[in-house]
Amino acid sequence: MSEAYKKQKIDSFDYYDPPENYQPPVQQLDQSKVIEAYKTLIMLKNHMFKVNLLLSHEEESSTIAELKNIKDELVLAKEAQEKEIASLQKTQDNLFSVNRLNGEDIDKLAKAYHEQDRKWYNAKLIQIDTEEQEADIQFIGYQEVVKMHAIFIKVQPIPDSKLFTVGQQCEAIYSSDGRYYLGAIEKVTEEGYHIRFKKNSNREIVPLIYLREAKKQLNDSKKMNFEEMDEFQVPDNLKYLPTDNEQQRQAKKKKIKAMKQTFKLSKITKYAQEKQSSWQSFAQKISTIKPDLGQKAESIYRQKCDQLKE
Q: Where are the domains of the chain?
A: 31-89, 103-155, 161-213
Please provide residue 128's backbone torsions phi and psi, each rounded to the nearest 5 degrees: -130, 135
Please tell me the predicted confidence (pLDDT) of residue 13: 38
Please tell me the predicted confidence (pLDDT) of residue 304: 47
Q: With 50 as the cut, is the pLDDT of residue 193 above it?
A: yes
Total residues found in the chain within this entry: 310
Q: How confident is the model at residue 225 (pLDDT cuts 50, 70, 90)?
A: low
Q: How confident is the model at residue 267 (pLDDT cuts 50, 70, 90)?
A: confident
Residue type, 205: I
Q: Which of 117, 174, 118, 125 lies closest to 150, judged by CA?
A: 125
What is the radius of gyration, based on Cα positions, of the chain? 31
> Coil, strand or helix: which one is 295?
coil
More confident residue, 235 or 203: 203
Q: Distances from the Cα of 207 to the Cαs of 142, 163, 188, 212, 282, in angstroms?
A: 17, 14, 10, 11, 59
150, with CB counted inside 10 A (0-12, 13-18, 19+), is buried
Q: With 70 as the cut, is the pLDDT of residue 240 above it?
A: yes
211, with CB counted inside 10 A (0-12, 13-18, 19+), is buried
Q: With 90 as the cut, is the pLDDT of residue 16 above it?
A: no
The span from the CA of 181 to the CA of 77, in Å, is: 43
At the top level of CATH, the class of 161-213 is mainly beta
> Coil, strand or helix: which one is 179?
strand
Please tell me the predicted confidence (pLDDT) of residue 285: 67
> Coil, strand or helix: which one is 97?
coil
Q: With 70 as the cut, is the pLDDT of residue 282 above it?
A: no
Please tell me the predicted confidence (pLDDT) of residue 8: 42
Q: How confident is the model at residue 129 (pLDDT cuts 50, 70, 90)?
A: very high
Please provide residue 141's backbone torsions phi and psi, each rounded to the nearest 5 degrees: 100, -5
Q: With 90 as the cut, is the pLDDT of residue 216 above it?
A: no
Please tell me the predicted confidence (pLDDT) of residue 241: 77
Q: Give percent of the chain above pLDDT 70.
A: 76
CB atoms within 10 A of CB 176: 15
Q: With 90 as the cut, is the pLDDT of residue 132 above it?
A: yes
Burial 72-96 (b: 16+ CB within 10 A, else e): eebeebbeebbeebeebbeeeebbb
For residue 186, give the H/E element and its range: strand 179-189
Question: Residues near 244 by Cβ (< 8 Å), separated by ≥ 6?
Answer: 157, 252
Please tell me the predicted confidence (pLDDT) of residue 159: 93
The span from the CA of 50 to the CA of 134, in Å, is: 16
DSSP string for residues in 122-137: EEEEEEEETTTTEEEE
Domain made up of 103-155: CATH architecture: Roll (2.30)
Alpha helices in 90-196 (DSSP H): none
Q: Which of 213, 214, 261, 220 lies closest to 237, judged by CA?
A: 213
Q: How confident is the model at residue 157 (pLDDT cuts 50, 70, 90)?
A: very high
CB atoms within 10 A of CB 201: 8
- Give the mean pLDDT of 3-21: 42
The span from the CA of 140 to the CA of 125, in Å, is: 10
Alpha helices in 90-214 (DSSP H): none
More confident residue, 27 or 242: 242
- Give the mean pLDDT of 223-239: 68
| Ramachandran class of 280: left when φ > 0, alpha when ψ lies in -120 to 50, beta otherwise | alpha
Mean pLDDT over each residue of the chain, to the nearest integer: 81
Total-model pTM: 0.63
More confident residue, 251 or 52: 52
228, with CB counted inside 10 A (0-12, 13-18, 19+), is exposed
- Give the mean pLDDT of 41-69: 95
Indicate if 161-213 has the same CATH topology as 103-155.
yes
Q: Which of 151, 153, 116, 158 lies closest to 138, judged by CA?
A: 153
More confident residue, 274 or 5: 274
Q: With 90 as the cut, is the pLDDT of residue 237 above it?
A: no
The span from the CA of 234 to the CA of 248, in Å, is: 15
> Of 27-36, 105-114, 129-138, 297-306, which range is least confident?
297-306
